[in-house]
Structure 1
Amino acid sequence: MIEDAQREFFAKEGYLLIKGFYDFDTDILPILRDIHRIIGLVAERHGISLSREEFSPERFDDGYPTLLATNRRIAGEVYDLVKQIPSFLRLISHPKAEALFRDIRGTDHAGIGAASYGIRIDNPNEEKFRSHWHQEFVFQPQSIDGIVFWTPLLPIKPDLGPVVILPRSNLDGLCTYVRGTTYAEKAGAYQIGIHDEDAVVARYEHVAPLTDPTDLLIMDFLTIHGSGYNTSGRSRWSVQGRFFNFRDPIGMKVGWRASITAGTEVEAIFPDNFVSAE
């Protein structure tokens, strides 16, 4: 599905941007329509009047800033509900995506981890829930040769905070992590960070690809990456899915565990890769 040069680039650099991987009308547009409808339904449920025009792909999220400004918990309902729409689930399990994963990893048995997919809504100037530097395998311990599939739902410009990737970091194995130091003020899994993060991050180049809906950005489960800072006036909407290889011996050893957000205790799985916060 990809050229040999792309395959080699992914293996070496730990990421690959594939332009126009999905079809806009068939794959992306239905998701945008459903998000627009859900925003309206949540507003109706809470008696909030929205001043917005009819649906358009460019402004599919009209009304969401009003919900966010009114009550963050109400906006949180949108965050939870958009992960339940069939159009989104079809994209996550798209036959092309599965075929690409199988092709790259040379496996006949791909999986999608429990609680490993969603639609992120990164609001402007909000740090608490921003995804900081991490490797996916620590948070998604299904197989060490897993791949993140990332697609934006609006054009990603520099001020929206593109994904920042550290090329070739995948070649250096799993980092050492710590909970409750640099990110102690964050919630849940967001408290886990790379030990001696500044020194680790400084060893690598930083790249932040600009992407459009239909583009697919894939990242190795060991590639260090994080969300950029959204300094725009609009939320950044993106789709994340994660495939893993059932035949990976490390995944088999740990039992293809679910996402940390599903309650998996990663410190118990990776005791040699965690240090005490003291």
Structure 2
Amino acid sequence: MTELSNTYIVSDEQRRFYDENGYLVIKGLLDFATLYNYKQRFLQICKGTVDKGNITVVKEISLKDKGVTGENLINKLQEIHYDDVFMTYTEHPRVLEVVSQFIGQDLRVMNSMFINKPPGSVSHPPHQDLYYFPFRPVEKIIAAWTAIDDVTIENGCLYVIPKSHKQGILYPHAILTGASRLYHGVQHAAPEDARVHLEMSPGDTVFFHPLLVHGSGANVSKRHRKCVTAHYASERCAYVSVRGTVQEHIAREVEAEAGRRGFELSFEDTWKIKSKSITLPSKL
């Protein structure tokens, strides 16, 4: 097996596609061995054979009352970017190489997740990632999402609304029927006929703009749909107040969630605390 170079240069054509459509899929960005390590780490945490540290384990609400356990109940792991194994994704040279070409060299990883999506998982409503972020400017924020398993429409692949970022609008979001807590969505900005479904193979990685409307379908297959994802922002981004904006609702929910865990934190402070400055690998 040929070892992948740490370097990946985004072509002019790829850059134009991203600027025009708000997303870019790069085939085979990560190798099988790397993906296998992430899957094994996830299973270790599911079984409790390693300390999960500060990782938050999120169960699939729709399956809680059906008697499923372990891997078949866990929807995702959140805040994985301090874990010794998962940080090799959030700080992977090939991922950072692409991210830095879009938003610059000075980077913070703001959010990270290993998403499992077991059979029976519900859909993730159409939304914009910026809705959850109290920092700007938008052009200095980007997401990376890498398939670990084959990702298909049947097992709930991502879908995007191409060019939806170009309006420059952050839409009002609301709690939609059947969605999990903190999963807000936009009602009318993602018509079925405008959705492009991103079926992907292991190692394929999509990068997307924080205003891009996107979501994912329900997993109606008998297979899990595993992926790993992270959001990055430039160190030059600044925190902004979201009071009186369409983000105020989610801000209050996040603050209430922190309160339930015994912390008095503002929406902005939650992001300051959990984010992590990262250093690009030296090219010497």
CA deviations over 1:7-34 (Å, ceiling 9, x no partner): 0100110000001111222x21211222
SS at match of 1:189: coil
Q: How big is the alpha-carbon RMSD for the aligned residues of Structure 1 and Structure 2?
A: 3.2
Q: Could you tell me the percent identity over the aligned residues?
A: 19
* Number of aligned residue pairs: 226
Contact 2:126/2:213 (<8 A) preserved: yes
Matched, 1:133 2:126: yes
5 Å-filtered alignment, 1:149-228, equals 149-180=144-175, 182-183=176-177, 186-190=179-183, 192-194=184-186, 197-198=187-188, 200-202=189-191, 205-228=194-217
Residue 155 of structure 1 deviates from its aligned partner by: 1.0
Question: 1:33 aligned to 34, 40, 47, which one?
Answer: 40
- Note closer, same or farther for the CA distance 1:193–1:69 as it changes in structure 2 (3 Å cut): closer
Contact 1:132/1:226 (<8 A) preserved: yes
Residue 69 of structure 1 deviates from its aligned partner by: 5.9
Contact 2:90/2:112 (<8 A) preserved: yes
- Note closer, same or farther for the CA distance 1:71–1:95 as it changes in structure 2 (3 Å cut): same
Contact 1:22/1:215 (<8 A) preserved: yes
Unaligned runs of 5+ in 2: 1-8, 50-63, 243-249, 256-265, 269-284
CA deviations over 1:178-215 (Å, ceiling 9, x no partner): 434x34x544312x322xx23x2239721112112211
Question: 1:94 aligned to 92, 95, 98, which one?
Answer: 92
Letter in 1 for 2:93: P
- Going by fraction, where is strand more abundant, 1 or 2? 2
CA deviations over 1:162-192 (Å, ceiling 9, x no partner): 1000000010123331434x34x544312x3
Unaligned runs of 5+ in 1: 43-66, 267-278
5 Å-filtered alignment, 1:39-54, equals 39-41=46-48
Residue 228 of structure 1 deviates from its aligned partner by: 1.6
Contact 2:128/2:211 (<8 A) preserved: yes
Letter in 1 for 2:214: H
CA deviations over 1:61-96 (Å, ceiling 9, x no partner): xxxxxx996455886678449947422121012122
Letter in 2 for 1:16: L
Distance 2:164 2:193 in 1: 7
